[in-house]
Amino acid sequence: MGATARGAPRVVYEATPQGQGTFAAWINESTPLSPVRDGLDLKILLARPEFLPSLIDQTWAQEQQCIDHLRALRSTRPPSAGLSASWEEAAVVLKSRAEIKQLEARIETLQETRSVMATILARDSERRPR
């Protein structure tokens, strides 16, 4: 046990040789592509037309969440910072860039989805007898 900057004792654990081997095997194995499992996407896929107004609102709300998260990510670190530094710093920057690109793609998808839903909703309301 050792003292931290605050003086509180702490325990430092180290991986066993077997644990280090397991970690190395995990790092070296291929990683499959993760499926998209967003709850909103499932709602859109399974919904009937009468749910479109609610889903339009939900896509807008999720878009705003994505924009807020994107703004926060962009403000924390310049996009090129760390790429010529150590691998640990570069890896963090690359992960941040990947997350930014995913959020940008999600925003675009939400906007397109909302546009299609609004078009269908307007078209269907014009067809209804008055």
Q: 96-129: per-residue pLDDT in tens?
A: 999 999 999 999 999 999 999 999 999 988 877 6
Lookup: tokens for 4: 């931290």
Strand partners, 9: 3
Q: Where are the alpha helices (DSSP H) in the chain?
A: 17-28, 39-46, 52-76, 87-127
Q: What number is the average pLDDT over the span 60-86?
A: 85
Lookup: tokens for 36: 């998209």
Q: Are 55 and 117 in contact (CB under 8 A)?
A: yes
% of the chain exceeding 90 in pLDDT: 65
Neighbours of 112 (CB within 10 A): 11
Q: Are 50 and 90 in contact (CB under 8 A)?
A: no
58 or 124: whose pLDDT is higher?
58
Q: Are 10 and 2 in contact (CB under 8 A)?
A: yes
Backbone angles phi, psi at 17, to 5 degrees: -55, -40
Mean pLDDT score of the chain: 88
